[in-house]
Amino acid sequence: MAQETLNPFLIAQEQIRGAVTELGLPDAVYEILKQPLRVLEVSIPVVMDDGRVRVFTGFRSQHNDALGPTKGGLRFFTEVSADEVKALSMWMTFKCAVLGLPYGGGKGAIICNPKELSTRELERLSRGYIRNVSQIVGPEKDIPAPDVYTNPQIMAWMVDEFSRMRERNSFGLMTGKPLILGGSAGRSEATGRGCVVTVQEACRRLGIDVTQARVVVEGYGNAGSVAARLMHELGAKIIAVNDSSGGIYSPDGFDPNAVLAHKVKTGSVAGFPGTQPIGNEDLLQLECEVLIPAALENQITAKVAGGVRAAIIGEAANGPTTLEADAILHKRGVFVIPDILASAGGVTVSYFEWVQNTMNYYWSEEEVNEKLGVMMRRSFAAVYDMHKTRNVTMRRAAFMVAVSRVAEAMKVRGWLD
């Protein structure tokens, strides 16, 4: 058996190739889209609290800007590579396109363990990064946002540093900022909320009663915990969740809000009263109506996919399913809502934040949530129609919708003959 493809860059390229082929587009479309327009690698020297100087490596990848300035998160993580950042920027292009946003895709990362850094060290690192990438970012060039282990405070430091360099306030540089610096109401819940909207749409089309659904959530960070809470509010039963330190399971379900409070208190969902421990692979293979992977890439592999017993998978994480696993899930009749659709709530509300910064006029949380719901439902319908009309998987359909929009923009701009 051939070795399973785990390199996210190669996975993204294959997904693009498949969509281009299915759409019958010129080879030039794939040649342009198969790699980023530019990738910057930077070295960031930081004076640590003990006086030592450490040099950190950072990246910023800008995949395609045919539809508008590039947009995408910035993660602080120990295990990150240039290929991963490139792939994430590529997925962002198509995530924005499938939602109809006037953006291309970008992504950034710094190789570090933020848990080992003091607040002051994090601030120096954040300011150093934005200084080193300042020539290629900006409100009309490339707009970063929070991602894994980054947060509104880190965005605020970067906005402040960039504003000092430009000698004027430039709040539109970043999204996911604190409200006081032009952040948007509803942004912190947007990824999880958007995923739940798509799950509701899938349940409606598949004849599944959400109020009777059993839900499993892999990854209990922001997106996962929000998705669990919102599904619970709809009447669904949350039967298992996990984080990097362990997992919990109860066939009778549990209150996700109480689990989150337990995690805040103890540092993990593990050990929540009334539940039993469960490993990651077993969690992913629990019998349920809805499985929401909300952790990192390549969690559902070919080995795992053969035992998945969910009716619907709503990918709140980026790239949680490998190519081989995706094919297995399709053959087994699992309805997968792909990441570029299911996890697009975050970038959609980031777009709202950018628009509000530009207008200097801000919406209420209710308005933001309503607009998000409209866009997520409209985008799900477009992908579902492509899925049914062309008899392809939802993932292939999502890429086809997105690639066709980017290709059209490239054609009218004169990038293609």
Which sequence positions are flagged as catalytic?
107
Q: Cβ(292)–Cβ(199) under 8 Å?
A: yes
Where does 233-298 show beta strands of DSSP type E? Answer: 237-243, 246-249, 276-277, 287-293
Q: Which of 160, 137, 161, 139 is nearest to 353 (CA)?
A: 139
Assign 240 to helix, strand or coil. strand
The full length of the chain comes to: 417
Assign 18 to helix, strand or coil. helix
Q: How many whole angstroms separate alpha carbon 262 and alpha carbon 250?
A: 16
**Is the torsion defined by CA of 385, 386, 389, 392 positive or negative?**
negative
Where does 244-373 show beta strands of DSSP type E? Answer: 246-249, 276-277, 287-293, 309-314, 335-337
Phi, psi dihedral angles at 242 (to 5 degrees):
-150, 170
24-31 long-range contacts, Cβ below 8 Å, gap at least 24?
25/403, 25/404, 25/407, 26/416, 26/417, 28/416, 28/417, 29/403, 29/407, 29/410, 29/416
DSSP summary character for residue 183: P
Helices 365-390/190-206 angle, 10° precision: 40
Q: How many whole angstroms separate alpha carbon 28 and alpha carbon 34?
A: 10
Dihedral in degrees, nearest 10, Cα atoms 333, 337, 227, 122? 130
